[in-house]
Amino acid sequence: MTDTPHTKVLFNDTCPVCSFEINHYAAYAQKHGLRIQFDDLNGPDRAAWGIDEDTAARRLYVLKDGALTSGIPAFLVLWQEMPKYRWLGRIVGLPGIRQAASAVYDHILAPLIYRWHLRRKARATRSAP
């Protein structure tokens, strides 16, 4: 068996919401020896994903066994990889709940977090020497 992760997560580590949640998952994965790699979209690893920075900042992406998912489907893949969170994936993956969760993520949460990201980025640019 190789140590190469078969599941990869692309997230925005400069986003306080994203980093809080995903770094929690990363710590859990590391503690339990799970083969999940967490890539910050602001680092050099993003290039291997073939996703530009703006697109990557808009939502969570997960690559598992060559299949790329984003949004709630990406969370479902990630939660399935972590025994502690499989129950959450089963619940959110139920018909009706999955569609509602996707609608809330796609139309409310992800756009809100993305706009917050753009404001932080603009502030950083204005305050840079």
Question: What pLDDT does residue 128 have?
Answer: 72
Q: Count Cβ atoms below 10 Å from residue 121 Cβ, excluding itself.
A: 13
Q: Which pLDDT value is given to residue 1?
A: 42
Confirm if 39 and 45 have CB atoms less than 8 A apart: yes
Report the distance separating Cα 89 and Cα 72, nearest Å.
Answer: 10
Whole-number pLDDT of residue 24: 97
pLDDT at 121: 87
Residue ranges of the chain with pLDDT lower than 70?
1-5
State residue 4's pLDDT score.
61
Tokens of 94: 């139920």
Tokens of 50: 């073939």
- Pairing status of strand 7-11 against strand 36-40: parallel
The Cα-based distances of 102 to 4, 14, 26, 69, 71 in angstroms read 30, 23, 23, 13, 7
Q: Is the pTM of this model over 0.85?
A: yes
For every residue of 63-80, DSSP letters joined together read EETTEEEESHHHHHHHHH
Strands of the sheet with 61-64, listed across from one edge: 36-40, 7-11, 61-64, 67-70
